[in-house]
Amino acid sequence: MTQSEHLSSYPVKVPHLSSRAGVFIALLVIGVWSTSLILLLLVDVSKLNFFNILLALFWQTFLFTGLFITAHDAMHGVVLPGNSNINHLIGSISLTLYGCLPYKELLKKHHVHHRHPASQTDPDFHDGKHKNFFAWYFHFMKGYFNWQQILTLMIIYNIANYVLHIPQANLNYFWVIPSLLSSVQLFYFGTYLTHKEPEGGYSEPHRAQTIANPMWWSFITCYHFGYHEEHHQYPHLPWWKLPSAYKLRFTN
C-alpha cells in the first residue's frame, strides 16, 4: 500500500506531510545528539556533581532514543516522502550512530513485525515462554545484536579511550549507559506495554494498544510511541503526528 492509500483510508483529513519538516526534524535529532555527545565526552566529569551527571545521562538517553525513532520513521518512508534513497541513508546513519545496527536487516524485520504483530512470526514478540518484562527484553535484544556488532563497539570504545584519550568515565556515563538505557526505554514503551497481551486477549487486528499519556510525558517517554495503535493503523504518519491521529479518533 502506498503512502497516499494509507492516508486516504483515514476517516478524517490527515494533516499534510511536509517533506521539509521530516528532513529537518531528522537532521535536528542527529545534529543535537552528535553535538551533545561531543561536548559531554570533552567535559571534565570531576567538576560535575551527581545531579549534573544524572541529568546529562538521561538527556543522552533521550537523544539516543530519538536516533532510533528517526531510523524507524525512515523505514516507513516519512523522513523524506517519495525519496527512498534519502530515507534509507538517514536511517542507516541513525542506526550506525545508535549502535552499529544493520539498517537493511532491521528494515526487513520491522516490516515483518507490521505484517504479523504480536505473533510467533513477529521478530519483536516473545517466544511464548519469555513473557515477563526481563525475559522478553533479553529475548528481544538477542534478535538485534550479535557478537560482530558488540566487538565493533568495543573497538570504537578502546580507540576513543586509548587513542583519542577520552576518559572512561565520560564514555561510560554519556555513551555506553545512555545507549543501554535507551534500548530499555524503546522496548518498554514501544514494545512491551503496547504489544503485551491484554486481559481477555487481543481485540483488534494490529494487536497493539495505545498508552494515552499526557502530551509532554508521551514525548519524553518515547517520542509519542505510546500511541501505538495509531502507528500500526497508519504507519506512514511520522512520530510527531501520532498524537493528532489519536485525538482525531475521538473528535470525529
Q: What is the pTM of this model?
A: 0.88
Could you give the C-alpha distances from 172 to 47, 101, 168, in angstroms and in order? 16, 19, 6
pLDDT at 126: 83
pLDDT at 14: 43
pLDDT at 173: 97
pLDDT tens by residue, 121-133:
888 888 777 788 9
Q: Please, which contacts does 8-15 make with residues 24 or more away whose CB atoms are closer than 8 Å?
A: 9/234, 10/234, 10/245, 10/248, 11/248, 11/252, 12/248, 12/252, 14/234, 14/237, 14/241, 14/245, 14/248, 15/241, 15/244
- Distance, in Å, from the CA atom of 146 to the CA atom of 106, rounded to the nearest integer, reads 13
- Map residue 213 onto helix, strand or coil: coil
Nearest to residue 207, comparing CAs of 81, 118, 122, 109? Answer: 118
Contact 26, 70 (CB under 8 A): yes
pLDDT tens by residue, 21-58:
899 999 999 999 999 999 999 999 999 999 999 999 99
Contact 71, 103 (CB under 8 A): yes
The rounded mean pLDDT for the chain is 87
Q: What are phi and psi of 77, to 5 degrees?
A: 75, 25
Low-confidence residues in the chain, pLDDT < 70 = 1-19, 198, 200-205, 250-252
- Map residue 167 onto helix, strand or coil: coil
- Distance, in Å, from the CA atom of 40 to the CA atom of 7, rounded to the nearest integer, reads 41
Q: What is the residue type of 126?
A: H
pLDDT at 15: 46
Q: Which residues contact 249 (CB under 8 A, 6 or more apart)?
A: 230
Contact 194, 208 (CB under 8 A): yes
- Distance, in Å, from the CA atom of 25 to the CA atom of 35, rounded to the nearest integer, reads 15
